[in-house]
Chains A and B, each alone.
Chain A
Amino acid sequence: DVKVTQSSRYLVKRTGEKVFLECVQDMDHENMFWYRQDPGLGLRLIYFSYDVKMKEKGDIPEGYSVSREKKERFSLILESASTNQTSMYLCASSEQSSNSPLHFGNGTRLTVT
């Protein structure tokens, strides 16, 4: 069965800390994505990647960076966490076709204090 695994379900970090959110998929998918989910705003795309070592900005990339050194792993990095980055973060992967659905992990709920 398809599986996207996010390393942490809950994280609490302090303002100014560097935060790493890890995501691994076992489906050999080319595409990987990081979304942020906030009440009333739905899901917003932060960054995505269509290949190893490739990354592109989504709709809200400010304050975030990503790393994709291996096909199965896509990391989201908060260089200096701020309270407005408190949110649910969802990782997803998909095949290349535009008809292909996204497969999501269970999410990481990050609280920045």
Chain B
Amino acid sequence: GDSVTQMEGPVTLSEEAFLTINCTYTATGYPSLFWYVQYPGEGLQLLLKATKADDKGSNKGFEATYRKETTSFHLEKGSVQVSDSAVYFCALNPFVNQGGKLIFGQGTELSVKP
């Protein structure tokens, strides 16, 4: 079945370091791909998305490119800040005509130290 696999956390970085969180997926067809972020004590919020192969989603300095050949959607940021400390979730929607029914990865906790 359809699934999402993320790199395990926690990931600990120093401020201004480069961030990569790996995400790979298994799905038939052409799913939409998403990254969500969850700050402490809050629900998830959309960080970025990509809806077709080679699309690049970007927001707040974060980027991810939809790579169909490697079934990947890795999250990157060139210079992280302490305020980026959160849990990051990769997700896909394999359903062409059904919005919102996402399959999530297990989440990757990021901790950024000053």
Q: Is the CB of A101 within 8 A of B106?
A: no
Bitwise interface map of A from 84 to 100 toward B, beta carbon under 8 Å scored 1, else 0: 00000010111111111
B42: CB under 8 A from chain A?
A: yes
Residues on B with beta carbons closer than 8 Å to the beta carbon of A104: 43-45
* Residue on B nearest A105 in the bound complex, by CB: B43
Number of interface residues of B (CB under 8 A): 26
Complex CA distance for A105 and B41, rounded to whole angstroms: 11
Residues on A with beta carbons closer than 8 Å to the beta carbon of B114: none
Residues on A with beta carbons closer than 8 Å to the beta carbon of B51: 99
A4: CB under 8 A from chain B?
A: yes
B residues 89-114 in Cβ contact with A at 8 Å? 89, 93, 95-102, 104-107
Given A31-B99, A106-B42, answer yes or no on A99-B106 (Cβ-Cβ < 8 Å).
Answer: no
Residue of A99, A101, A106 ringed by the most chain B CB atoms within 10 A? A101
Q: Is the CB of B99 within 8 A of A42?
A: no
Q: What is the minimal beta-carbon distance from A51 to any residue of chain B, in angstroms?
A: 12
Residues on A with beta carbons closer than 8 Å to the beta carbon of B95: 98
B residues 60-114 in Cβ contact with A at 8 Å? 89, 93, 95-102, 104-107
Q: What is the minimal beta-carbon distance from A103 to any residue of chain B, in angstroms?
A: 8
Q: Is the CB of A100 within 8 A of B43?
A: no
Q: Is the CB of A102 within 8 A of B44?
A: yes
Q: Is the CB of A98 within 8 A of B97?
A: yes
Q: What is the minimal beta-carbon distance from A4 to any residue of chain B, in angstroms?
A: 7
Q: Is the CB of A101 within 8 A of B89?
A: no
Q: Is the CB of A48 within 8 A of B106?
A: no
Complex CA distance for A63 and B93, rounded to whole angstroms: 25
Name A33's contact: one of B46, B100, B105 (CB within 8 Å). B100
The 8 closest A-B pairs by CB, nearest first: A94-B100, A104-B43, A42-B106, A100-B99, A101-B46, A43-B104, A42-B104, A31-B100
**Contacts A42-B4, A92-B43, A92-B100 supplied; 4 other A-B pairs, CB < 8 Å:** A48-B100, A100-B100, A101-B34, A101-B46
Residue contacts A-B, CB under 8 angstroms, 10 given: A40-B106, A43-B89, A45-B101, A90-B44, A93-B100, A95-B100, A98-B98, A98-B99, A99-B32, A105-B43
